[in-house]
Structure 1
Amino acid sequence: MDWQKWQDRYDDPDSPLARRLLTVRERIRLALDDCPPGPLRVVSLCAGQGRDLLHVLPGHRRAQDVRARLVELDPRNVDLAAKAARSAGLHGVEAIAADAALLDHYAGMAPAELVLVCGVFGNIVDGDIERTIDACTQLCATGGRVIWTRNRRSPDRVPLICDWFETRGFEREWVTGPDEHQAVGVHRFTGHPQPLQRGTSIFTFVGYDKLPSAT
């Protein structure tokens, strides 16, 4: 899979992915609006080109409060995200080429007020989805939010994902309805963040095109 070319799918305004991106952007905007005064930390797993966060921050009143780390394996996508951040004057945003599954890459940024897990759950097996949600108790600050996505192809895992979050101290804040093929969810952490378990890999990125044979 060419993950740089894959990002071009967001350019079709009528596609489910483009609609999902618009929804994620709006939820990021609302989350930033609701954050308390002071520095804000944001981490993004499998961030791609940062089309979600890097579209919202320019012009947002909290932009200069944000320190963000975008973790993405494809160096071409990382380069595009870094250039977009620089051109927008977002000096607190860094994009790194690294395996987003390795918790070491969030050291110094976790726990964060906003954790983006977009485009991840539809590309990994169920056990890794649960492990990633469990790791969100290390990545997310008390009162912080996780914004996540998952397609609703059969078997629909959105209800199970909600259950996994909610048994770990997350409160469901908002989830798209069942008629939307590309679901977006927001869960707010009401618990206390756990220490970051360095050296831990929480998922293997299988890819949605290979996932049915892997589960």
Structure 2
Amino acid sequence: MDWHAWHGAYDSPQSPLVNQLRTVQQRVAIALDDLPPGRVRVLSVCAGQGRDLLGALEDHPRRHDVTARLVELDPRNAARAREDASVLGLDGIEAVVGDAALTDHYTDLAPAQLVLLCGLFGNITDEDIERTVSYGSRLCATGGTLIWTRNRKAPDRFPWICGLLEDRGFTRVWLNDPAAQQGVGVHRFTGSPEPLGPGERMFTFVGYDALS
């Protein structure tokens, strides 16, 4: 799979991914609105070109409060994220090229007030979804927001993922219409974050094409 070319779908008005992207951007903006004044730490896992976060920050009044790390394996996607952040004057955005599954990329910013797991759960096994959710309590600060996505094709794993999160200290804030092909979920962490240690692997990225 060429994940750089894959992002071209976001430029096609007919793609269901366009609506998903807009929805995630709206929820990121709302999450920022709800946070108290001060610096905001953001982590984006498998960030791609960072369009979800960067699009939300473009005109947001708290755009300069954000310190974010976007972790992406494809160097072309990371370069695009850096370029777009630079054009927008967002000096607090860092795009790192690396395996987003490794905790080493997040330890110095975790726990964060906003965590994005967008485009991940449809590309890993159910076992690794469970494992990744278990790391949510280490990535998210108390009161932090987790925004995540998963397609709703059969078998629909969306309700199951909601249950996993809610069994691990997350409270459901908002879900998009179940009829939408691309699901978006927002959960808030109400527990106390556990330490995030280095050298751990949260998942293995398989790819939806291989999983199907």
Q: TM-score range by the shorter chain?
A: over 0.9
- The residue aligned with 1:118 is 118
Letter in 1 for 2:82: A
| CA distance in structure 2 between the partners assigned to 1:176 and 1:159 by the alignment | 12
| CA distance in structure 1 between the partners assigned to 2:34 and 2:102 by the alignment | 29
Between Structure 1 and Structure 2, how many residues are aligned?
212
| CA distance in structure 2 between the partners assigned to 1:188 and 1:54 by the alignment | 21
| CA distance in structure 2 between the partners assigned to 1:177 and 1:80 by the alignment | 31
SS of the aligned residue for 1:37 comes to coil
Matching of residues 47-126 of structure 1 within 5 Å: 47-126=47-126
| CA distance in structure 2 between the partners assigned to 1:173 and 1:26 by the alignment | 14
| CA distance in structure 1 between the partners assigned to 2:90 and 2:161 by the alignment | 32
Letter in 1 for 2:29: R
- The residue aligned with 2:27 is 27
Deviation, structure 1 residue 40 = 0.3
Matching of residues 161-200 of structure 1 within 5 Å: 161-200=161-200
Q: Between the two proteins, what is the percent identity of the paired residues?
A: 59
SS of the aligned residue for 2:100 comes to coil
Q: Normalised by the size of structure 2, how large is the TM-score?
A: 0.98
CA deviation map 1:47-94 (0-9, x unaligned) = 000111111112211111100000000000000101111111100100
- The residue aligned with 1:143 is 143
Runs of 5+ unmatched residues, structure 1? none
Let me know the Cα RMSD of the aligned residues.
Answer: 0.7
| CA distance in structure 2 between the partners assigned to 1:17 and 1:59 by the alignment | 22
- The residue aligned with 1:2 is 2
Letter in 2 for 1:10: Y
SS of the aligned residue for 1:210 comes to helix
Q: Normalised by the size of structure 1, how large is the TM-score?
A: 0.97
- The residue aligned with 2:36 is 36
